[in-house]
A and B are shown apart, each in its own frame.
Chain A
Amino acid sequence: MSQFVFPPLTANLNSEASNGGSLPSSVLVVAGYDGANVRAIKTDSTGEIAVDVSSIGTVTVTGTVAVSAIAGALPAGTNNIGDVDIASALPAGTNNIGDVDIASALPAGTNSIGTVILGAGTAAIGKLVANSGVDIGDVDVTSIVPGVGATNLGKAIQSAQGTTDTGVPALVVRNDTLADLSGADGDYAPLQVNASGALYTEVKTSALPSGAATEAKQDVIETTLNSIEGDTSSLAGAVSGTEVQVDVVASLPAGTNNIGDVDIASALPAGTNSIGTVILGAGTAAIGKLSANSGVDIGDVDVTSLPALPAGSNTIGKVDVNAIAPVDFLDSGLVDTSTANIASTGTTVVSSLAAACTEIEIQEDIGEFMSLRVGGTVKAFLPLGGGRVKVSLAATDAVQLFSETGTAISSGKIAINFLG
């Protein structure tokens, strides 16, 4: 149970003590006031008063100020610490100074930064700006890896040569009188050229490798080459243009021999020459002109067309004309006009042809002008008293007779043979 008292309790003055006196059994707790709220005055665990100085004027410290730690960061803005000496080395391990910028140029004169060590791994210096006349000074490069690309000075052994590869040309020494420029055996020496720029070389007197050409063996090679030259000249005589001319001096071997395209330049030799079966190619293959040769039979020949008879009188002689058989007749066989008039507008169909017809043969005693039509189209005017007429009638044509007198024909008879 909590207890609340009115009026509020006041300090117990019995707890006061004189300066230098002993500590009373109970003490008055003293607080501070920040202008708005009461604040307790605290001590640390040893009884020392903890003091936070929020603002302070100029303070002169004659003794030693030991700072164990600066708890917070310096306030924003410019904080001039002044001359800071790091009396001893930074402690072992990682020490993060943060981002250090040199705001302005280093002062004139010599500024010794000391030893600058780039970190291991991928530490880079960055790109040096072109600045003619500025010397880097004494730089020791412990190793160079030039690269082996087209624009690198280095090249890898057995790699392919490129047309625009970058490289360093080798310098040689012109020495009109060849002499030793090294000084001692085993020293480095430059290549030397004469006044014309030709590189000095020396053929050592040691034996050539086994089997190599020597001066003493050149005549043997020359003899062999002459023999080859004679043989190739003979072969060249058999060449016409780009083709080698070949004579077959003996019979072709038994069996099938495909010679290809063979032209017989002159006549076959006298005597019997058996060519075998000659087959003309399909299409327009022509035999040419046959010479008169009485007693020689051509055999079974089909002539597809004959030339026209020349102008003027031509005596044909005896001609056998193949009999032309009728292909059809009038449906009624004989048309009696007294019972079946032939009207000027045509009769009914007198025949539907069983086959194509090229000529008709008419027998009639009517003695009137008539025509033969198919579908109203005149195919032939019939000769008076009968006879033959060339026509062109197709199979299944429906043939009709027409009176060409202007009136119907009603006297006399007519018969027609349709010839193929």
Chain B
Amino acid sequence: MGRKNLILTYNMLDSIDLDTSANSSATFTTTIDQLSINIVWSGSTGTNTGSIVVQGTNKDPDASSFAAADYFDLELSGGTINLTGASGEHIVIFDKTPFRAIRLVYTNSTHAAGTVSAIMSAKTLGA
């Protein structure tokens, strides 16, 4: 009998500033079958916009030859993950993770003060 892999809680984005665009570190998914990412943001009132894109890659992000262009955007049902308004929450569900690694790319448009976090939970099937 194999052993089931679990990641209970992992902060891909840990309270980063909403007014600054940022990228998460690469999360390796070669041993993960399903995962979800809970995106939560809270900032100032007003017209605040920004977006998060989930990128994947099949190359080794730790390799010296790896470049940002080696990531590709993943298309999701529901369209673009927009962070609109003073605060909010999204859930991104991956039924499959056939990639070597994924990462989150946060792009700020008009957000001011505030923070955004992305908490991932993952597991393998069977085993």
A residues near B, CB below 8 A?
1-9
- Docked-complex contact B95 and A2, CB < 8 angstroms: no
Tell me which of B20-28, B60-68, B73-81, B111-119 binds A.
B73-81
How near does chain B come to A217, taking the closest CB pair, in angstroms?
119
- Docked-complex contact B91 and A6, CB < 8 angstroms: no
Name the prevailing secondary structure of the B interface residues. strand
B90 in the interface (beta carbon within 8 A): yes
Task: Mark interface residues in B35-63 (1 if CB within 8 Å of A CB, else 0).
Answer: 00000000000000000001000000000
- Docked-complex contact A6 and B54, CB < 8 angstroms: yes
B93 in the interface (beta carbon within 8 A): yes
B105 in the interface (beta carbon within 8 A): no
Name the prevailing secondary structure of the A interface residues. strand
Compute how far the CA of A337 lies from the CA of B96 in the bound complex, rounded to whole angstroms. Answer: 172
B94 in the interface (beta carbon within 8 A): yes
Q: Given A6-B54, A6-B96, do A1 and B91 touch, yes or no (CB 8 Å)?
A: yes
Residue of B nearest to A6 (CB): B94
Which residue of the partner chain, among B79, B88, B93, contacts A6 with CB atoms under 8 Å? B93
How near does chain B come to A7, taking the closest CB pair, in angstroms?
6
Compute how far the CA of A2 lies from the CA of B76 in the bound complex, rounded to whole angstroms. Answer: 12
- List 21 contacting pairs A-B, 8 Å CB cutoff, sorted by A: A1-B88, A2-B78, A2-B81, A2-B90, A3-B78, A3-B90, A3-B91, A3-B92, A4-B91, A4-B93, A5-B92, A5-B94, A5-B95, A6-B54, A6-B77, A6-B93, A7-B77, A7-B96, A8-B75, A8-B76, A9-B77
Residue of A nearest to B79 (CB): A4
Residue of B nearest to A3 (CB): B91
- Docked-complex contact A4 and B78, CB < 8 angstroms: yes
B residues near A2, Cβ cutoff 8 Å: 78, 81, 90-91
How near does chain A come to B88, taking the closest CB pair, in angstroms?
8
How near does chain B come to A57, taking the closest CB pair, in angstroms?
38
Compute how far the CA of A180 lies from the CA of B25 in the bound complex, rounded to whole angstroms. Answer: 131
Residue of A nearest to B98 (CB): A7
- Docked-complex contact A5 and B78, CB < 8 angstroms: yes
Select the residue from A5, A6, A7, A9 with max chain B CB neighbours within 10 A: A6
B14 in the interface (beta carbon within 8 A): no
How near does chain A come to B50, taking the closest CB pair, in angstroms?
14
A residues near B96, Cβ cutoff 8 Å: 6-7
A residues near B93, Cβ cutoff 8 Å: 3-6
How near does chain A come to B24, taking the closest CB pair, in angstroms?
16
- Docked-complex contact B90 and A6, CB < 8 angstroms: no
- Docked-complex contact A8 and B90, CB < 8 angstroms: no
Task: Mark interface residues in B91-108 (1 if CB within 8 Å of A CB, else 0).
Answer: 111111000000000000
- Docked-complex contact B92 and A6, CB < 8 angstroms: yes
Select the residue from B74, B77, B93 with max chain A CB neighbours within 10 A: B77
B89 in the interface (beta carbon within 8 A): yes
Compute how far the CA of A7 lies from the CA of B54 in the bound complex, rounded to whole angstroms. Answer: 12
Residue of A nearest to B80 (CB): A4
B residues near A5, Cβ cutoff 8 Å: 76-78, 92-95
Q: Which 6 A-B pairs have the closest CB atoms?
A: A4-B78, A4-B76, A8-B77, A9-B77, A4-B92, A5-B77
A residues near B90, Cβ cutoff 8 Å: 1-4
- Docked-complex contact B74 and A6, CB < 8 angstroms: yes
Compute how far the CA of A2 lies from the CA of B90 in the bound complex, rounded to whole angstroms. Answer: 5
Residue of A nearest to B35 (CB): A6
Residue of A nearest to B74 (CB): A6
How near does chain A come to B90, taking the closest CB pair, in angstroms?
5
Compute how far the CA of A7 lies from the CA of B94 in the bound complex, rounded to whole angstroms. Answer: 7
In the complex, besides A2-B78, A4-B90, A9-B77, 10 extra interface pairs with C-beta distance below 8 angstroms are A1-B90, A3-B78, A5-B76, A5-B92, A5-B95, A6-B54, A6-B76, A7-B77, A8-B76, A8-B77
How near does chain A come to B74, taking the closest CB pair, in angstroms?
6
Compute how far the CA of A81 lies from the CA of B77 in the bound complex, rounded to whole angstroms. Answer: 50
A residues near B76, Cβ cutoff 8 Å: 4-6, 8
Q: Given A6-B54, A6-B96, A7-B95, do A1 and B78 touch, yes or no (CB 8 Å)?
A: no
Residue of A nearest to B40 (CB): A1
B residues near A4, Cβ cutoff 8 Å: 76-79, 81, 90-93
B residues near A9, Cβ cutoff 8 Å: 77
B residues near A1, Cβ cutoff 8 Å: 88-91
A residues near B75, Cβ cutoff 8 Å: 6, 8
